[in-house]
Structure 1
Amino acid sequence: MLMRLAWRNLWRQKRRTLLTASALALALFLSLMTRSFQEGSYSANIENAAKFYTGLIQLQHPEFHTSNSIDDVLPEDENYIQRAKETENVERVLPRIESVALAAAGERSKGVLVLGVDPVKEDEYSNISAKLVKGDFIEPDGKGVLVGESLARYLQVSVGDELVLYGQGYRGQTAAGLYTISGVLHFPLQQLDNQLVYMPIKAAQALYSTQNLVTNWVIDVKALSELDLTVSALNNEYAPNAVVKDWQQLSPELAQQILMDRAGGIFLVYVLYGIVGFGLFATILMMTLERQREFAVMLATGLVRSKLALLLFIESTFISLLGLVLGLLVSAPFLAYFYFNPLEITGEAGQLMIDSGFEPIVPVSVEPALFINQIVIVLGLMVLCLVYPMLRVARLNVATALKGGAHAH
């Protein structure tokens, strides 16, 4: 009976009901669009930054992060890494040797970061060969190296020239080797372009005398949203002999940047909901004040106050659900369109993204959690708006309301 009554009451004031539901729908639409574009661009930034250097997850020796020493290593062993490969959501694992050395060519020398990688797996993951501006990609069993464009310019070397690498190897051994430059890479990140030397992992293990040992295993995941679960699963497998670090610990600057930007976006969405909330509150209050006489008659004829409050609650729920359905129906085609046809960035900004190795698009995230969050906020807003009208009904003075008193409470 209450449901039927609530439904009828709504359509006695069609315009007001539709305006309120539309305001809710508009707020839901705008907040979903804002948050979807925001989260989509964050995911793209995280994955792009990870692919070029750190990876999304790294498995390291517990001391490696602080020492960066070639002595703090892990086994490059199929049995050892098999547990990571079998972990749910893990897409691929890549072995790496990461250390420092002095690079010299002719009269010039510079401290460099040496990255020993599996050329085939690394190229599948980060498409490094696409960054080549001169020469060829490295071969798994070769002794060729790739250098950043800025580093090549500083050392005055090019493809075919020789590069001497000199540093400290495993357990105090001397690391020294002569390598031919196979290719020159253009790195999107200037600090990497200035100091990175890529080489096949076998050559890096020979240089640093680490044999079947690596400084880290880079782990790529299928779904970024499941990253935390994957990190805990890997921790259960490898702690305490190895530590699992995610991209936030590996790239704290990027994590900080995203955190601040996300906070700004969420604040704007809350401001939007605050404005809509006032509209919803005014509507529900008007619905209550206009019908004080009607409520008094219902109470006088034996309706319990709690039932009356429930009636108000049902009416407000109907308006909110109507707003939610409208909002989702309007948002779905837009989000679906932009998901399959992302906005392209053109002009100088687009060219800058291409030069940085990023796709010049604005991707959209359609994670279910985004939708659930916004729906919960709308329903929470409605409950908040109901508090005062409910108190009003609870204190309603039947005699004064029946006489048509303005302040019948």
Structure 2
Amino acid sequence: MYWKLAWRNLWRNHRRTIITLTSVMLAVVLATTMRCLQLGTYDTMINNVVGYYTGYLQLQGNDYWDTHSIDKGFTFDAPLQQHLRSIRHIRSFTPRLEAYVLASSDTKTKSAMVVGTDPAMEDSVTQLGGKLINGRYFSADDRSVIIAEGLADVLKLHTGDTVVVLGQGYHGANAAGKYPISGIVHFGAPELNKGMIYLPLKEAQWLFGGDVVTSVVMMLDNRNDINGARHALETGLPEGLTVMDWKEMMPDLVQAIRADNSGGLIMAGVLYLIIAFGLFGTFLMMLAERQHEFGILISIGMRHISIVRMVLLEILLIGVIGTAAGFALSVPVVYWLHENPIRFTGDAAQSFAAYGFEPVMRASLDPSIFTAQAELVLCITLLLALYPLARILKLNALKATRS
């Protein structure tokens, strides 16, 4: 009976109800779309960093991250590989031997990073083979390199040309070699695109004079599995090794995301604050218009709590219907923005590229974004309902009847 009364009362003033529901619906659509775009952009940034190079987790020697010295390398033996394969969260992994060198052609010289890696395992982690724009992908037994497009442009090199590398090897040994270029890859991140040379791991270990690796890069099935994978990885880990996640390796990105996310939350808060004032005004009007009605109901024996229950259901219906309508409209919009992301061009694209990110805004389809908006709208609605409901509980039947 209360539901039927609440529903009928809601449409006694259908114009006001429609305006209120529309305001709630538009607030939900705008807030949901904005948050989905914002969090989806963060996902794109993280995937760029993780998928291009760093991985979600890295296994390194103690103090390697601070020094980036090849002397902090470790042996990638069979027991360690078996330990990695036993962790169900880890989708793929690859060993790397990384060292900075001078790369030279006939006329140009530039600093670069040599990455010794297992070709098949590297491709399973970063899809390096899919980034080829010229030439062929190398194999584990090759004595050739894959070079980044930007570095090749600086050195004026093409596939089939020879690049000379000179650096410091394991325990201070000299590292020098020359290698034909088997392929050229393109990275969306400018820093990677201007300074990467990939070499098969065995050849890199020979070049630098040490049968070691400096890191093992891991990809996970789900980013939310980081803590579980890290705990499992650290259990039984040999002494002298440490685990780092992408947040520790990219603190600047984490801080930038947090700062931008705070701005997005403030914008959503302002939007909901405006809607809250509109809802509060509606609730006060409902109370003022019906004081005489409430006074008569109390006079003929209806309890205050019964009136409160009926009005509370009316307010809940406004919140639920407005939120449901907002979701019905926002879901196709968000899905379309996920499948057809906003692509930036010109100066905006260059700004994204300067930080190494793909210049797109793709909406996130995370269900928690929608549930969070629903919870927020209902909480605001119930919070605003406290004042008019309290007024009803204290309502004097005689005064209300004479109003």
Which residue of structure 1 aligns with residue 161 of structure 2? 160
Deviations 1:109-156 (A, max 9, x none): 544322112222323443334544554433211121233344445556
Cα gap change, 1:11 to 1:229, in 2 (>3 Å): farther
1:49 aligns with 2:49: yes
Cα gap change, 1:98 to 1:307, in 2 (>3 Å): farther
CA contact (8 A) 2:283 2:385 kept: yes
**2:384 counterpart SS class:** helix
CA contact (8 A) 2:48 2:358 kept: no
Once the two structures are overlaid, the 10-residue window that deviates more, 27-36 or 100-109, is 100-109
Cα separation, 1, equivalents of 2:192 and 2:350: 17
Once the two structures are overlaid, the 10-residue window that deviates more, 281-290 or 44-53, is 44-53
Q: Specify the code of the residue in structure 2 equivalent to 1:5.
A: L
Deviations 1:265-292 (A, max 9, x none): 2222222211111111111111112122
Which residue of structure 1 aligns with residue 265 of structure 2? 266
Which residue of structure 1 aligns with residue 327 of structure 2? 328
Shift of 1:250: 1.7
Q: Specify the code of the residue in structure 2 equivalent to 1:335.
A: V
Shift of 1:300: 3.5
Shift of 1:157: 4.9
The alignment's C-alpha RMSD in Å is 3.2
Once the two structures are overlaid, the 10-residue window that deviates more, 122-131 or 285-294, is 122-131
Which residue of structure 1 aligns with residue 40 of structure 2? 40
CA contact (8 A) 1:353 1:359 kept: no
Shift of 1:366: 1.0
1:311 aligns with 2:310: yes
CA contact (8 A) 1:47 1:56 kept: no
Q: Specify the code of the residue in structure 2 equivalent to 1:13.
A: N
Q: Specify the code of the residue in structure 1 equivalent to 2:210.
A: T
1:77 aligns with 2:80: no
Deviations 1:206-257 (A, max 9, x none): 223332x321111112233444554455445649754332222222233233
Cα gap change, 1:25 to 1:229, in 2 (>3 Å): farther
Q: Specify the code of the residue in structure 2 equivalent to 1:282.
A: G
1:119 aligns with 2:95: no
Q: TM-score, normalised by structure 1?
A: 0.85
1:4 aligns with 2:25: no
Cα gap change, 1:190 to 1:335, in 2 (>3 Å): closer
CA contact (8 A) 2:169 2:207 kept: no
1:190 aligns with 2:154: no
**1:214 counterpart SS class:** coil
Which residue of structure 1 aligns with residue 94 of structure 2? 94
Q: Which consecutive residues of structure 2, in runs of 5 or more, have no partner in the other structure?
A: none
Cα gap change, 1:91 to 1:7, in 2 (>3 Å): same
**Residues 236-385 of structure 1 aligned to structure 2 (within 5 Å):** 236=235, 238=237, 242-339=241-338, 341-343=339-341, 345=343, 348=346, 362-385=361-384
Shift of 1:161: 1.8
Cα separation, 1, equivalents of 2:157 and 2:398: 96
Give 4+ residue runs of structure 1 displaced > 6 Å after superposition: 349-360
Cα separation, 2, equivalents of 1:49 and 1:98: 17
Cα gap change, 1:268 to 1:239, in 2 (>3 Å): farther
Q: TM-score, normalised by structure 2?
A: 0.86
How many pairs are equivalent?
A: 401
CA contact (8 A) 2:304 2:393 kept: yes
